[in-house]
């Protein structure tokens, strides 16, 4: 039994049967982290003292004969964009280096209430702006399947840590694909919930109308367990929705007979990697063999998705990141002569190149004379894209597509071409613009042994159906059981 390779449900069973302790599980994870972290570089900060304190509490409960929940004693990794009380939170940016929040994000509080164990804070693209985790202000994370390749982004540290067994599960955030795309690159499961399903309180904002917190796990059952824990209305978040939260574990059914699956013609585009296209078509054929009804559909405004996203997201980023000025918290430049020079020097030195690029773009599209031509027009087309999905879901139950147009690319391959980098999220961005849920699961491998992801999109608050389709696919294949040689 290799403790660091266990899933949430496997670890829970062993804890309940008293075959292992939470402290032993935590020790095993840290031991493995010390072995592989030098190559992966998934963590920005390890919180060993806190982790062993949390694990000890769980062990004492078990010793007293108290009942424990599904997440008790489970070692987690946390994307460093989630506020953690008393623990540094940097968003992988030098401008927040040394910032220690005095409160927990709602999702962190919920996991604490479930007695989860926090191993540390995970690397990411600075302020979640990127698709490769190369934009971190501190280090580049490497893909466990090939250390010369990117793990995806912006939740690259989270996906890499789960794939490399450096944590049992992790939390990520998804603004334009930042959970699903790295999950696909690293061969793990990643779910972006419906906008409003999971509280954003304590999530450091990038683009407020797009950001959503979600799970990155080793299998679909773990994803359902984690969704149960983090979902629900939160009065601290004005965008949180008062919607009933079902037991997502009830959706773990190996049955998709009669489920209508839509295949959007716009998602199988010219320039897609031939191996991705072939693997996806084989996966779709398999879904049909298992009883699903496959239909061709159209989402006509898809071609505008990337352009719309990079207008809306940068505009919101420009507004949200205005608060980092060196006055209230975080980094402050030295050697300035006056207030304006302090502002400009702090932001010039504190922000990375990609963050500056997006702030400038966002400021431009919001400026007088350009707001009507860009931001307002983008918002109107966004409404049309949502309408495309609404009409499609009158005909089908879920929509299936590739998660990313290519497997993980090499580190440095696209850093000098921002547009090519932005196109990495071409299949995931429409989901965020429409506010619907989507899940990515591994569905095959390239000839170089790199994972390929299958994306399943659903109706608003239809995560249960996504989990059912994903679980059926997973249980009929073994892609989720394969491990990179590093582990």
Annotated active-site residue in 79, 192, 218, 414: 79
On the question of pLDDT at 419 being above 90, the answer is no
pLDDT bracket for residue 368 (50, 70, 90): confident
Mean pLDDT on 239-265 = 97
Respond yes or no: is residue 79 known to be catalytic.
yes
CATH number of the domain located at residue range(s) 3-262+399-481 in this protein: 3.90.1300.10
On the question of pLDDT at 486 being above 90, the answer is no
The pLDDT tens digits of the residues spanning 296-350 come to 999 999 999 999 999 999 999 999 999 999 998 899 999 899 999 999 999 999 9
Annotated active-site residue in 93, 131, 136, 154: 154
Domain boundaries, the chain: 3-262+399-481, 303-379
On the question of pLDDT at 77 being above 70, the answer is yes
- The chain-wide mean pLDDT, for the chain, equals 96
- Supply the pLDDT for residue 163: 98
The pLDDT tens digits of the residues spanning 185-218 come to 999 999 999 999 999 999 999 999 999 999 999 9
pLDDT bracket for residue 83 (50, 70, 90): very high
On the question of pLDDT at 6 being above 90, the answer is yes
Annotated active-site residue in 131, 155, 158, 178: 178
- Supply the pLDDT for residue 56: 98
- Supply the pLDDT for residue 420: 83
The pLDDT tens digits of the residues spanning 43-61 come to 999 999 999 999 999 999 9
On the question of pLDDT at 361 being above 90, the answer is yes
On the question of pLDDT at 270 being above 80, the answer is no
On the question of pLDDT at 443 being above 70, the answer is yes
pLDDT bracket for residue 160 (50, 70, 90): very high
Q: Lowest-pLDDT range, 4-13, 260-269, 344-353, 420-429?
A: 420-429
Q: Write out the chain in H/E/C secondary structure.
A: CCHHHCCHHHHHHHHHCCCCCHHHHHHHHHHHHHHHHHHHCCEEEECHHHHHHHHHHHHHHHHCCCCCCCCCCCEEEEECCECECCECCCCCCHHHCCCCCCCCCHHHHHHHHCCCEEEEEECCCHHHCCCCCCCCCCCCCCECCECCECCCCCCHHHHHHHHCCCCCEEEEEECCCCCHHHHHHHCCEEEECCCCCECCCCECCCCCCCCEEEEEECCHHHHHHHHHHHECCCCCCCCCCCCCCCCHHHHCCCCCCCCEEEEEHHHCCCCCCHHHHHHHHHHHHHHHHCCCEEEEECCHHHHHHHHHHHHHHHHHHHHHHHHCCCCCCCCCCCCCCCHHHHHHHHHHHHCCHHHHHHHHHHHHHHCCCCCHHHHHHHHHHHHHHHHHHHHHCCCCCEEEEECCCCCCCECCCCCCCHHHHHHHHCCCHHHHHHCCCEEEEEEEECCCCCEEEEEEEECCCCHHHHHHHHHHHHHCCCHHHCCCCCC
The pLDDT tens digits of the residues spanning 92-105 come to 999 999 999 999 99
- Supply the pLDDT for residue 424: 85
On the question of pLDDT at 487 being above 80, the answer is no
């Amino acid at each position: 039994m290799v403790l660091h390779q266990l899933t949430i449900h496997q670890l829970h069973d062993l804890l309940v049967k008293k075959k292992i302790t939470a402290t032993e599980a935590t020790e095993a994870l840290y031991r493995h982290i010390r072995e592989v972290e030098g190559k992966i570089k998934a963590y920005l900060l390890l919180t060993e003292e806190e982790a062993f304190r949390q694990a000890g509490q769980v062990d004492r409960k078990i010793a007293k004969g108290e009942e424990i929940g599904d997440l008790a004693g489970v070692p987690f990794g946390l994307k460093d964009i989630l506020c953690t009380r008393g623990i540094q939170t940097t968003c992988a940016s030098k401008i927040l280096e040394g910032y220690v929040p005095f409160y927990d994000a709602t999702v962190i509080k919920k996991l604490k209430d479930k007695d989860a164990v926090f191993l540390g804070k995970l690397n990411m693209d600075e302020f979640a702006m990127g698709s490769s985790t190369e934009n971190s202000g501190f280090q580049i994370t490497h893909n466990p399947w090939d250390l010369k390749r990117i793990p995806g982004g912006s939740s690259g540290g989270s996906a890499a840590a789960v794939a490399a067994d450096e944590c049992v599960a992790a939390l990520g955030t998804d603004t334009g694909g930042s959970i699903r795309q790295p999950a696909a690159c690293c061969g793990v499961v990643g779910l972006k919930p419906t906008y409003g399903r999971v509280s954003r309180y304590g999530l450091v904002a990038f683009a407020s109308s797009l950001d959503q917190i979600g799970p990155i796990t080793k299998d679909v059952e773990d994803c359902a367990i984690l969704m149960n824990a983090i979902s629900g209305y939160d009065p601290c978040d004005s965008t949180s929705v008062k919607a009933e939260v079902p037991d997502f574990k009830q959706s773990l059914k190996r049955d998709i007979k009669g489920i209508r699956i839509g295949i959007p013609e716009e998602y199988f585009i010219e320039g897609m990697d031939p191996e991705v296209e072939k693997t996806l078509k084989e996966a779709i054929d398999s879904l049909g063999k298992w009883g699903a009804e496959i239909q061709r559909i159209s989402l006509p405004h898809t071609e505008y998705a990337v352009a719309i996203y990079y207008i809306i997201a940068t505009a919101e980023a420009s507004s949200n990141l205005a608060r980092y000025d060196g006055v209230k918290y975080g980094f402050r430049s030295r050697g300035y002569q006056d207030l304006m020079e302090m502002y400009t020097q702090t932001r010039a030195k504190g922000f990375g190149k990609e963050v500056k690029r997006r702030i400038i773009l966002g400021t431009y599209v919001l400026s007088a004379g350009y707001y009507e031509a860009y931001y307002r027009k983008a918002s109107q087309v966004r409404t049309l894209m949502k309408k495309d999905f609404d009409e499609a879901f009158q005909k089908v139950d879920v929509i299936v597509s590739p998660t990313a147009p290519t497997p993980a690319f090499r580190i440095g391959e696209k850093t000098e071409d921002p547009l090519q980098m932005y196109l990495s999220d071409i299949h995931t961005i429409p989901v965020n613009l429409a506010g619907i849920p989507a899940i990515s699961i591994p569905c095959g491998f390239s000839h170089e042994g790199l994972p390929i992801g299958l994306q399943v999109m659903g109706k608003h608050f239809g995560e249960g159906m996504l989990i059912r389709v994903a679980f059926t696919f997973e249980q009929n294949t073994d892609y989720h059981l394969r491990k990179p040689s590093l582990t």
